[in-house]
Amino acid sequence: MALEYANRMNYVKASEIRELLKLTEQPGIISFGGGFPAPELFPVNEMIEISKKVMEKNGAQALQYGPTEGYRPLREAIAKRMKKVQVDAVVEDILVTSGSQQGLDFAAKVFIDPGDYIIIEKPSYLGAINAFRAYEPNFIDIELEDDGMNMEQLEKALKENKKVKFIYVIPDFQNPSGKTWSIEKRKKLVELANKYDIAVVEDNPYGELRYEGELFPAIKHFDTEGRVIFLGTFSKIFCPGLRLGWIDAHPEVLRKFILLKQGADLQSSTISQIEVATFLNEYDIDAHIEKIKVVYKRRRDLMVGIMKEKFPKEVKYTIPEGGLFTWVTLPEHINTRDLAVKALEKQVAFVPGGSFYAYPGHENDMRLNYSAMPDDLIIEGMNRLADVINEALK
Amino acid sequence: MALEYANRMNYVKASEIRELLKLTEQPGIISFGGGFPAPELFPVNEMIEISKKVMEKNGAQALQYGPTEGYRPLREAIAKRMKKVQVDAVVEDILVTSGSQQGLDFAAKVFIDPGDYIIIEKPSYLGAINAFRAYEPNFIDIELEDDGMNMEQLEKALKENKKVKFIYVIPDFQNPSGKTWSIEKRKKLVELANKYDIAVVEDNPYGELRYEGELFPAIKHFDTEGRVIFLGTFSKIFCPGLRLGWIDAHPEVLRKFILLKQGADLQSSTISQIEVATFLNEYDIDAHIEKIKVVYKRRRDLMVGIMKEKFPKEVKYTIPEGGLFTWVTLPEHINTRDLAVKALEKQVAFVPGGSFYAYPGHENDMRLNYSAMPDDLIIEGMNRLADVINEALK
């Protein structure tokens, strides 16, 4: 048997994180690998109340098919919530998706023909890069500085390449780097997108998890022409196991996404949508987010503290103002894939940085997650990791 | 603003059923349109018990990320359940999907490059045709006879076209026609697939809903080379609102689907998976299916009875041995899209047959669903529809 697959299957790769997940299921592993939220913060008791209430009140509706666009009260609650990032949204702007990962897949599916160009940050989220690869684009990666993309490089790329379909950015506490775009660069990005008439895909899973200062306005806040497609998710501010996210886009653009969703999975889970709508409308999600922030901030401080104290001076790292990740850059002669093997011998996991680049040749970074492990394991794991790094740099 | 979309967006169309759903949400409409299961049969009380139990026992796990392949106890239960259609499966053969619709999307994504050929039944499920269109294939549609595809036509098509990637069939109580493939044609299909070395996508959402006689072995039962990809779903035998289905395929083939799922939505809902696994392991799904069958059989008989009594002689229809649909063929000069407008004036909805063909020119069929409406509304709605048809044929 020699089944012939589509050309795209030559490009689709296993997510290093998803593969790592399997390893980290082993007991005893201290994992800074996945982007897992802390399970002890999940609102389990509230979910017990909510699921009972939804079943008793709306059981038959909750278990039935519903509209592709999503459960209307959830779409309304999401539209209202977009005010947090200073976006005025109406229900017609909102499509409920199965996590924001589905929004990434759809963005590529809506825009990309094989050989088209898309612009991404360098580095960028590996799950996005992999999702995009299935549509056979060419990647243009633009240096990510501490305050966002290098704007000169970006404009140069836009000028040179006729078939750029969209710019993909994660402006708040980026995955993997932890960096946040400045207000100025957000504005400038929209100006450039307007000038060159292309779409922007703004991926914002962590924006509300800011540990100091005020929430920034989304890039979509500056969008005057309806070309910014905003992806949100309940995975980090509520829980990922329900697989619910959303797209906020101009209805004309959103229409394309709705059509794709019909073919891709008809709709997201009705019951989960009603449950989340109930949580948003009858419970206090802001108080819940505050609780999360207290814990994650403390864990970030713990992790950064140990890096400061124990990592060799040549090792650089970001101190994110929010989100789940810090990004560690080692001297160029260090290969973090090799380092990961050594760390695993000491029962510590992280994601080597290479997967977060569209092109090979960047092997000296690593992404560390601080949200998933309890404080004592962060201390223990970071001490072990510091030993591994010190050993490698000796 | 003139965003440039991918070429595929020229082919992706709104599902007539999904659009119809919006209409049928209006109170007072008697809908034979969607493929909705009867909501009054959903195991609401069991779900109340199960969701409480899952949250109390496994709350944090249920709300967390899980593996892309699916929750292992659910995969095990599915593998065991494949015995119902005489397929020996192991856990490594099973990928949990977000409904079988996602399996359809993935099948196209795994195999189709623009311009490749796929073979489908004529007519075929419109949700599949639409999902496939997003990958820009050429369709070859093969006459569906009462016992399956016309095998001479099929072999001729396989001989003539070098780039056929797969054959897509719904062998049990087909959507839309209600027809079932004979054992002989199932065997013959696998022989041809082996001979021409191509894949078979077997879509089986209704197979267990057989109202008379024994369950047929799946086409996959005859698969000796691992080329049949079986799609199953809990939507019709349990409830669709959870959005859970599965793919049973040879692990080597399944690997491709798993990679696509990573990019498409990471995984299906953890909580729903644990809930369904709990239902399968601790409750009696076979008894539940028996309950469903009693009701649907009665509704089929009601619907068919009225067609027999009231429809004009020139009107043909299928009497399905299971599943959710009957397929009505009117004289060729009747356009069922026009008829649908007239029926809606009388508050009755159905899906015009044209959408179930890959190519235009088939406008005299209609699909009628008998699972979703209570008995009295089937009687009332079918009497109205008979009036509309009699009027049109006068």
Sign of CA dihedral A89, A91, A92, A93: positive
Residue linked to tokens 């002689």: B313
Contacts A271 to B, Cβ<8 Å: 241-242, 272
Per-residue pLDDT 10s for chain A (394 aa) are 789 999 999 999 877 666 666 666 678 899 999 899 999 999 999 999 999 999 999 999 999 999 999 999 999 999 999 999 999 999 999 999 999 999 999 999 999 999 999 999 999 999 999 999 999 999 999 999 999 999 999 999 999 987 899 999 999 999 999 999 999 999 999 999 999 999 999 999 999 999 999 999 999 999 999 999 999 999 999 999 999 999 999 999 999 999 999 999 999 999 999 999 999 999 999 999 999 999 999 999 999 999 999 999 999 999 999 999 999 999 999 999 999 999 999 999 999 999 999 999 999 999 999 999 999 999 999 999 999 999 999 8
In B, minimum Cα distance to A42 occurs at B60
Residue of A nearest to B64 (CA): A241
- Residues of chain A positioned with their CB less than 8 A from the CB of B235: 65
Q: Which of B9, B55, B104 has the CB atom closest to A44's CB atom? A: B55
Are A265 and B8 inside 8 Å of each other by CB?
Answer: no
* Closest chain B CA to residue A223: B1
Angle, helices A336-345 vs A375-393, to 10°: value is: 120
pLDDT tens per residue across span A27-60: 889 999 989 999 999 999 999 999 999 999 999 9
A105 with A113: CB under 8 angstroms?
Answer: no
Please tell me which residue of chain B has the smallest CA distance to A58: B44
pLDDT of residue B25: 66
Q: Are B355 and B337 in contact (CB under 8 A)?
A: no
Q: Where are the domains of chain A?
A: 7-43+287-393, 45-282
CB contact at 8 A, A307 and A317: yes
CATH number for domain A45-282, candidates 3.40.50.1980, 3.40.640.10, 3.40.1280.10, 1.10.3720.10: 3.40.640.10
Beta bridge partners of B245: B97, B233
Q: Rounded CA gap, B389 and B394, in Å?
A: 9
Residues in chain A with CB shorter than 8 Å from the CB of B260 are 12, 134
pLDDT at position A289: 97
Nearest chain A residue (CA) to B40: A60
The pLDDT of residue B14 is 77
Among all residues of chain B, which has the CA nearest to that of A109? B6
Of B4, B44, B266, which is closest to A99 when you measure between CB atoms? B266
Give one DSSP letter per residue of B87-111, joined into a string.
Answer: ----GGGEEEESHHHHHHHHHHHHH
Residue in A65, A102, A113 closest to B7 by CB: A113
Q: Does domain A7-43+287-393 have CATH number 3.90.1150.10?
A: yes
How far apart CA A247 and CA A99 sit, in angstroms, is 10
What order do you get walking across the sheet with A325-329 strand by strand? A316-317, A325-329, A365-369, A351-352
User: Min CA distance, B9 vs chain A (Å)?
Assistant: 7
The answer to whether the Cβ–Cβ distance between B241 and A270 falls below 8 Å is yes
Distance, in angstroms, between B390 CA and closest chain A CA? 33
When CB atoms are compared, the residue of A52, A127, A269 closest to B242 is A269
Question: CA separation (Å) from B292 to A15, B206, B239?
Answer: 41, 12, 11
For residue B165, the chain A residues in CB contact (below 8 A) are: 4, 6
Q: Could you tell me how many CB contacts below 8 A there are between chain A and chain B?
A: 265
Cβ contacts (< 8 Å) between B240 and chain A: which residues? 63-65, 270
Q: How far is A309 from chain B (nearest CA, A)?
A: 32
**Strands B348-349, B325-329: pairing kind:** unpaired
Annotate B248-266 with three-state secondary structure: ECCHHHHHHHHHHHHHHHC
Measured in angstroms, the CA of A363 and the nearest CA of chain B are apart by 23
Q: B262 and A130 in contact by Cβ < 8 A?
A: yes
Do A269 and B243 count as a contact with CB atoms less than 8 A apart? Answer: yes
Alpha-helical runs (H) found in A63-182: 72-81, 99-111, 126-133, 151-160
The neighbouring-strand residues paired with B246 are B96, B232
Q: Tell if the CB–CB gap between B5 and A262 is shorter than 8 Å.
A: no
Write down the architecture of domain B65-282 according to CATH.
3-Layer(aba) Sandwich (3.40)
Which residues of chain A lie closer than 8 angstroms to B42, CB-CB? 59-60, 63-64
Query: Tell me, what amino acid is at B285?
Result: I
Q: Can you give the pLDDT of all 394 residues of chain B as single tens digits?
A: 789 999 999 999 877 666 666 666 678 899 999 899 999 999 999 999 999 999 999 999 999 999 999 999 999 999 999 999 999 999 999 999 999 999 999 999 999 999 999 999 999 999 999 999 999 999 999 999 999 999 999 999 999 987 899 999 999 999 999 999 999 999 999 999 999 999 999 999 999 999 999 999 999 999 999 999 999 999 999 999 999 999 999 999 999 999 999 999 999 999 999 999 999 999 999 999 999 999 999 999 999 999 999 999 999 999 999 999 999 999 999 999 999 999 999 999 999 999 999 999 999 999 999 999 999 999 999 999 999 999 999 9
Q: Which residues of A touch B18 (CB under 8 A)?
A: 67-68, 262, 266
Length of chain B (residues): 394
Task: Dig out the tokens for A232 from the structure.
Answer: 């949100």
Q: Mark yes or no for CB contact B243/A5 under 8 Å.
A: no
Q: Which residues of A touch B104 (CB under 8 A)?
A: 263
